[in-house]
Copies of this chain bind each other. A is one copy, B any other.
Amino acid sequence: MRNEPIDLATAFGAFDQLWSPRIVTRVNDYDVRIAKVAGEHVWHAHDDTDEFFLVLDGELRIALRDGEGGAEREVLLRKGSVYVVPRGVRHRPSAPDGASILMFEPTGTSSVGDRHDPVPEHVDATTGHAL
């Protein structure tokens, strides 16, 4: 199959499930994943990898426990903002009004990390699905 550009709007149109990343393409041993999100994800941490977020539409909030003694704070990513959660940092993404996001992370990275709170029904624990 010829390697052709992928239109992200078309890719987002191909699925509806929330918090269920789709793998758009691969770069070496990394995935480029997209997800539709709304409401709260789950507190989790990736022990061995940073995680990159780009907000393509809407607003994403990421609660972080990266303060002194694990103090909690929240960052707000508006449309067109990027953010990297460093490896090991417990975080919980949320999007009260919904958002469309793009992520870069090593192939095989779990959406709920290596350590996590109990995973609620609406969160898909996955290493990403094909589009």
Residues of B with C-beta under 8 A to A25: 52, 82-84
Q: Which of chain B's residues has its CB closest to A80's CB? A: B8
A100 to chain B, nearest CB (A): 11
From known contacts A3-B66, A4-B75, infer whether A84 and B26 are also in contact, taking CB-CB under 8 Å.
yes
Residues of B with C-beta under 8 A to A83: 3-6, 25
**Is the CB of A15 closer than 8 A to any CB of chain B?**
no
Residues of B with C-beta under 8 A to A63: none
Q: Is the CB of B3 within 8 A of A82?
A: no
Contact with B along A39-50 (1 / 0, CB 8 A): 000000000011
Mark A residues whose CB is within 8 Å of B.
3-9, 24-28, 30, 32, 49-52, 54, 56, 66, 75-78, 80-84, 86-87, 102, 104-106
Given A27-B105, A56-B80, 19 additional A-B pairs, CB 8 A: A3-B84, A5-B77, A5-B81, A5-B83, A6-B83, A7-B78, A7-B80, A24-B82, A25-B52, A26-B50, A26-B84, A27-B52, A28-B49, A28-B50, A28-B87, A28-B106, A30-B104, A32-B84, A104-B104
